[in-house]
Amino acid sequence: MKAIIIGAGRIGRGFVASLLKHNQVELTFFDVNPSVVEQLNEYKKYTVHVLGNPEKDTVIDNYQAYLLSDKERLVTELVESAFVFTSVGGKNLASVGEKISEAYHELYQQNQLPKNVFITCENWLTPAEELREAILNGLSEEEQNKFDDGNDVSQAVIRASGTSAPSDFDLKNQMDTWVQDYWEIPVDQARITVNQLPDWQYFKFDPQFGKMLYQKIYTNNTSVALIAYLGSLKGYTLLSDAANDPEIVELLDQGYDEINRALIAQLQVSEESQLEFSRIAKEKYQSRTIIDDVDRIARDPIRKLSPTDRLIGPAKMALDSGFEPRALAKAIAAALYYDNKEDQLSVKLQEMRAAKGDIKTLEELSGLKENDPLLKLVLAAIEELKEKEWIKQVNEDE
């Protein structure tokens, strides 16, 4: 069996590729970065290193790699492949869908009807809907019907981390990547109604997938954002160091309690399932074997302060559930003050804050109006963090 992986980053060529390789699936990569494609083809193989368990390392070889702009090749591979995985970042799904749509249009003009299962592997709340919509937007009504008759668009939850090489590693192959020792990909089975499910190890096709993406993002992504933004205020560079700081741990535990209560109430997930999500997430971020940077997690704070993203979304859920998310409010406050001169969006955020003030900035980015109870909690959290001197005086003088 053959599969396409669109997006040859740490998760695509690392976590997803290694699990497919263990299932004897032949791989073809597509990426928008010419350097990545060139290096994949130049090295011809690379190693997915498992953090803390080198005996589980996987060598990825016998693959092909192409630019996503190579429509002719994409057309060929869609015909020959049964599965297509994306790992491109949610905001890039529309452009990926456009390329796939162009390829399908070409195939339908040739009277070819490929049957594929698309599985998004994104930290995004509605990736399957967005990818399918982007594909269908470029097709005629007749082509849309043909696409739906032969293809499924589903989604997966990625709970594993991918990281760069440890600082003391003698890196000879730039395509080598490092992943967490975690071996499961839950997939939304209910969205696969046309094609047959494969009998693969590690892929859990779950008919009760439901709100799992919300659960994952509002647990994992929310809690790691709390760690990163508070850790940045305290001067940490490594995520695991921040996640083990006693003061941050206290807020992290409060944050998990707020997240758990909110998601159990609002998503109607089971308490057992939610507590398990939180337990696994905390273990992951506190693990010293996973080397990740605070700034990598904290980058793009403007998007992460948007109304439905990982900070504002669950905080609003908590208020709707009848309690005040004080730990999440501190994470929002820390994100608002995230100051990294190497991150253009952080620079833009600090310029906005300096020009408009905290209240107007939060209103514009997060949709928090003047009398919003969450805004009041965030403003109180800012004052508390200033009193603790986590938010330094230099920020007040901007």
pLDDT at 85: 99
* Region for residue 367 given its phi and psi (left: phi exceeds 0; alpha: psi -120 to 50; beta: otherwise): left
d(CA 329, CA 255): 9
- Ordered by start, the domain boundaries in the chain are 2-206, 212-388
- Alpha-carbon distances of 96 from 68, 90, 123, 183, 360, rounded to whole Å: 8, 10, 16, 27, 35
CATH superfamily placement of domain 212-388:
N-(1-d-carboxylethyl)-l-norvaline Dehydrogenase; domain 2 (1.10.1040.10)
For the structural domain made of 2-206, what CATH number should be given? 3.40.50.720
Q: Are 68 and 93 spatial neighbours (Cβ–Cβ below 8 Å)? A: no
d(CA 324, CA 262): 10
Name the stretches of the chain with pLDDT < 70: 393-398
Burial of 237 (0-12, 13-18, 19+ CB in 10 A): exposed
Residue type, 156: A
pLDDT at 355: 98
- Token representation of residue 304: 């992460």
Order across the sheet with 45-50: list the strands: 58-61, 45-50, 177-179, 162-163
Angle between helices 93-109 and 127-137 (to 10 degrees): 40
pLDDT at 393: 58
- Alpha-carbon distances of 129 from 91, 120, 155, rounded to whole Å: 13, 10, 9
Q: Is 2 helix (H, G, I), strand (E, B) or coil?
A: strand
Q: What is the pLDDT of residues 294-344, one digit of tens each?
A: 999 999 999 999 999 999 999 999 999 999 999 999 999 999 999 999 999
Q: What secondary structure, in 3-state letters, does 8-29 show?
A: CCHHHHHHHHHHHHHCCCEEEE
Q: Are 25 and 1 spatial neighbours (Cβ–Cβ below 8 Å)? A: yes
The angle at the Cα of 229, spanning 225 to 233, to the nearest 5 degrees, equals: 165
- Token representation of residue 105: 């249009």
